Amino acid sequence: MYKEGIQPSSYDPGQIITMQDVRRVHHEVMTLVWRVEPHPDATPEEGPGSFRQHDIAKFAGGMKPIPWPLVDSAMTDWLRQVNAIEPRSANFPEEIAKVHRDFEAIHPFLDGNGRTGRLVLNLILVRMGYPPAIIYKGDRDKYLRALQRADGGDCGALGEFIARAILDNLYKFIVPAIAGPARLVPLGALATDAMNAATLRVAANRGALQATKGADGQWRSSRLWVDEYAANRYKRRR
């Protein structure tokens, strides 16, 4: 999906995303699933990549997807909304949260809308120059609560959730990949399973980890310094 984002096989320079993109993502995601366990109510016209021709029952949170005859026009309006977003505006987090919520509210496909919606969100982000937002299993409940608030018209929590997911991905994968071992980066970019960001901050505050604190209040260190701290961490305890 990331490759398709930066090197799309079919790309209209006037649009961030097209209807063909959305259908293709669903087709890629659901084809294998459909072969094993197709939706029991699906007609031959509702397979992977095709919009639903059934109405969907109201969800537990109270949101009810639109009637199926309105899906085509709603998706056309949705695409227009997405392609009007200004990627570097101050309102970007809430705007991207709203289009993500609106996709799920339209629920254009009979099945697989959640995973398709999250992949489509990341396709949009990548084409706008952002890292993808990875939603981990442990954050699922928080994500669903924020999505439910967005259903009620408050997209702030969902926008913050997506923005934090983007930053976490930036720190965990992208910054370490481009930063040399001696380059100073935020501690979040140097965290590992063995030493999370909170552990590194404590070490920096104690002076055990070489780090500098910027005017923004954020600690920065380097992979070299963290490796040195890790190598000597247990020696000091013995």
Q: What is the DSSP letter of 111?
A: S
Residues 165 and 191 in one domain: no
Is the predicted pLDDT of residue 207 greater than 70, yes or no?
yes
**pLDDT band at residue 191 using 50, 70 and 90 as cut-offs:** confident
Q: Mean pLDDT over residues 28-42, rounded? A: 94
Residues 53 and 155 in one domain: yes
Per-chain mean pLDDT for the chain: 88
DSSP assignment of 127-157 equals: HTTPPP----GGGHHHHHHHHHHHHTT--HH
Residues 59 and 106 in one domain: yes
Residues 165 and 196 in one domain: no
Residues 161 and 194 in one domain: no
Domain span including residue 163 = 2-172
Task: Please provide residue 28's backbone torsions phi and psi, each rounded to the nearest 5 degrees.
Answer: -65, -40
Residues 194 and 160 in one domain: no
Boundary (domain end) residue, out of 150, 172, 194: 172
Residues 118 and 139 in one domain: yes
Residues 78 and 116 in one domain: yes
Boundary (domain end) residue, out of 172, 198, 224: 172
Residues 8 and 75 in one domain: yes
CATH number of residue 133's parent domain: 1.10.3290.10
- The rounded distance, in Å, linking the Cα atoms of 15 and 221 is 40
Residues 133 and 194 in one domain: no
Q: Which helix (H) or strand (E) holds 93?
A: helix 92-106
pLDDT in tens, 143-175: 999 999 999 999 999 999 999 898 877 776 666
pLDDT in tens, 7-28: 555 556 678 999 999 999 999 9
pTM of the model: 0.73
Residue-level pLDDT at 51? 98
Q: Tally the domains of the chain.
A: 2
Residues 146 and 226 in one domain: no
Is the predicted pLDDT of residue 178 greater than 90, yes or no?
no
The amino acid at 169 = N
Give the residue numbers annotated as catalytic, written as ranges: 107
Structure tokens at 157: 């929590």
Residues 84 and 188 in one domain: no
pLDDT in tens, 104-136: 999 999 999 999 999 999 999 999 999 899 888
Q: What is the DSSP letter of 193?
A: S
